[in-house]
Amino acid sequence: MLDRDLALDVLRAARARGGSFAELYVEERTSVSIRLDDGKVEELTTGLDRGAGVRVGRGTSFGYAFSNRLDRGALLEAAAAAAASLDGEPGAVVDLRELQPPVVHVAERSASGVPAADKVAWLREVDDTARSHSPEVRQVVAGYGDSVQRVLIATSDGRWVEEVRPRIRLVAQVVAARDGVIQTGFHGPAALAGVEFVDAHPPAETALIAAKRAVAMLDSVPAPAGEMPVVLAPGMGGVLFHEAVGHPLEIDTIHKEASVYRGRIGETLASPLVNGVDDATVPNGWGSFSFDDEGAPAQRTVLFADGVLQGWLYDRLRADVDGVPSSGNGRRQSYAHQPIPRMTNTYILNGASKPAELIAGTERGVFVTALAGGQTNPATGDFVFGCSEAYLIERGEVTTPVRGANLIGRAIEVMSAIDGVADDFQTWEGTCGKDGQSVPVGSGSPTLRISRITVGGTGA
C-alpha cells in the first residue's frame, strides 16, 4: 500500500517536534453489504474506503491527524498536524523491520471471489426457512456483509506490520405476530474468515434460531420483578461479562479512576468458579486479529483466575505510562480514529457443572436465552440488560416465556453471586461501541447461574 521510504519520511516528519513515539496507520477496506427485506433485495452496496492516520505520543497524551489521501503531500501534512502540539527536539526513527504474526487467521475461500448472486441466494434461504417455520412469522429481514481490511502499521521504534483481515457476517431478524402480540427474534453469527464460514453456519440454521425465538416469545407473559436466581444460556454470560466487567478493565477507565476494579488486582472480585480471558488469538474469531491496530502481536490475557482479578487490557500509550508491555488491545474502528484500549474475544471459560443441573437446582427464577444489549457505568459497576428471550424456571424446569425482563445489578456483586458454571461454552458475536468507535468483538461463556440478581419486569 505504501513503500517503506515514504513511511520512514512520514515518521520522521511526525517526530520533528519530539514526543515519545510516532506511528503511521494505513488502511484500505472494500466491503459488500446486502439487505433482503420481506423477500426483496432492497439494497446491495459496495464500498471502497482508504486513508491513513498519523499519531504522535507524548506521555499520556497524543496528537492525531488523518486523511483519505495517501499521497506524499497529504501524509506529510498529517504528520505535521499530529506533531503540532509538541515543541521539542526531533526524535529518532529506527529502521523498519517486519514483524511475523503470532497467529494467522486463514480465509480458505475469499468472499471477494464469490458472485453476488450466491450471496443473495443465502439471504433467500434465510427468508424461506424463517417463513416456513411458522405461519406466525410475518416479517424477515436478512442481512449479509463481508469486508476485506488491509492494514499497514509502521512505528518510529521500527515496527512494520501488514495484515489482511477478512470479515463476514450473516444475520436474521424475524418478526412473529399473533392476535396483536408482536415479538422479534435475532441471530447473527460472524467470523474473521472467508465464505467457508457459511458452510459452518448455514443460513437456514441462522434463520431457524431467529424464527424460533420470535415465535416462542408470542406465548410470553410479563416478566416477574424482584431479586431471584437467573440462569444465563451459553454465550449470554459472555455478553454480560464483556459489558459489566470487561469495560471497567480497559486501562483507560482505570487510569481515569473511573473503574470499580482500579487498584484491586489480586483481590477476589468474582466467584471462584469464574475464569475469564480476553483472547485475540482465537482462530478466526470475530474479535480476533494477528496484530492489534498499533502493531502489537495478538495475545491471550487472563482477566480472572478462580475469581481473582489478574490484570487490565492495555494499549500502547497507557502501557508506556505504566512501564509494562501492551497486552495487544489497542484497536480502532478505522484510520479515522485513534486507537484506544478495547476488548477482542472476551470469554468466561468452561466449568464443571452440567447445564441441566443448574436449571434443575433452581426452584424459581429466570432462564435468559438471549440478551438484547445493555449499558454499564464502569465507575459504579451499575449495569442494565434487556432480555429479548427469557423463560421462567419453576421447580427446576424451564416453563413459560417472559417478556420485558431487565437484569439490573452491579458488576462485582453479580460476578460474586455466580454459583454455577457449566461446560457447554458458546460464543456470541457483536459490535462494541465506545467513544464513538465501533469494533467487532466476540464474547462467550458456558451456561451460568447467578444466585441472586434484580430482575426488572412488569409482572407479578
Partner 1 sequence: MPELTDLVAAAVDAARHGEAVEAYAERSTKTEVDAHRGEVEGLTFAESSGVGVRLIRDERLGYAWAADPSIDEVRRAVEQARENAGFATPDEHHVLPEPEPIEPLGALFDAEQAALDTEKKVRVALDLEARATSRDPRVTKVENVQYGDAVSHVAIASTSGVSAAYERTDVWCFVVALAEQDDETQTGFSFRVGRALADLDWEGVADEAVERGTRMLGAVKPSTMRVPVLLDPFAGSSFLGVLAGALSAEAVQKQRSLFAELVGQRVGSERFTLVDDGRLLAGPAASPFDDEGVPTGRTELFTRGTLNGFLHDAYTAHRGGTASTGNARRAGYRSAPGVGISNFYVEPGKVPPAALLGRAEGGVLIQDVSGVHSGANPISGEFSVGATGLRIAGGAVGEPLREMTIASTIPEMLQAVTAVGDDLRFFSAVGVPSILIGEMTVAGV
Question: Closest CB to partner 1 among 259 and 299?
Answer: 259
460 burial class (0-12, 13-18, 19+ CB within 10 angstroms)?
exposed
Interaction between residue 22 and partner 1 (CB under 8 A)? no
Question: Closest CB to partner 1 among 69 and 150?
Answer: 69
Question: Which x/- pattern over 124-163 shows residues binding partner 1 (rule: CB under 8 A)?
Answer: --------------xx------------------------
Question: Closest CB to partner 1 among 9 and 49?
Answer: 49
Interaction between residue 2 and partner 1 (CB under 8 A)? no
Among 338, 369, 416, 445, binds partner 1 (CB under 8 A): 338
Among 4-12, 16-24, 33-41, 153-161, the segment contacting partner 1 (CB under 8 A):
33-41
Assign 3-state DSSP to the chain and report helix, strand, coil percentages, each to 5: 25, 45, 35
Interaction between residue 364 and partner 1 (CB under 8 A)? no
Backbone φ and ψ for 2, nearest 5 degrees, come out as -155, 140
Count, residues in the chain: 460
Please report the beta strands in 288-396, taking only residues with DSSP state E, as ranges in sequence order.
300-305, 308-309, 330-331, 340-341, 345-348, 364-376, 382-394
Q: In sequence order, what are the residues at sequence separation of 6 or more whose Cβ sits closer than 8 angstroms to the Cβ of residue 295?
A: 23, 99, 153, 154, 155, 159, 160, 161
Question: Closest CB to partner 1 among 5 and 257?
Answer: 257
Please give the size of the binding site for partner 1, defined by CB under 8 A: 75
Among 102-110, 114-122, 194-202, 341-349, the segment contacting partner 1 (CB under 8 A):
114-122
CB of residue 130 vs partner 1: minimum separation in angstroms? 16
Helix, strand or coil for residue 44? strand
Question: Closest CB to partner 1 among 3 and 48?
Answer: 48
Site residues (CB under 8 A) for partner 1, limited to 74-113: 78, 81-82, 84-85
Helix, strand or coil for residue 165? strand
Interaction between residue 386 and partner 1 (CB under 8 A)? yes
Interaction between residue 400 and partner 1 (CB under 8 A)? no
Cα separation, 460 vs 226, in Å, equals 9
Backbone φ and ψ for 101, nearest 5 degrees, come out as -70, 140
Site residues (CB under 8 A) for partner 1, limited to 220-239: 223, 225-227
Q: In sequence order, what are the residues at sequence separation of 6 or more whose Cβ sits closer than 8 angstroms to the Cβ of residue 162?
A: 98, 150, 151, 152, 153
Q: Quote the cell numbers at residue 75.
A: 501524509
CB of residue 396 vs partner 1: minimum separation in angstroms? 26
CB of residue 40 vs partner 1: minimum separation in angstroms? 4
Among 203-211, 266-274, 287-295, 406-414, the segment contacting partner 1 (CB under 8 A):
406-414
Interaction between residue 66 and partner 1 (CB under 8 A)? yes
Interaction between residue 50 and partner 1 (CB under 8 A)? yes
Among 65, 140, 152, 251, binds partner 1 (CB under 8 A): 65
Evaluate whether 228 touches 365 at the Cβ level (below 8 Å). Answer: yes
Nearest to 29 by CA among 97, 111, 118: 111
Phi-psi region of 6 (alpha: psi -120 to 50; beta: other; left: phi over 0): alpha
Among 11, 20, 67, 389, binds partner 1 (CB under 8 A): 67
CB of residue 127 vs partner 1: minimum separation in angstroms? 11
Evaluate whether 174 touches 139 at the Cβ level (below 8 Å). Answer: yes
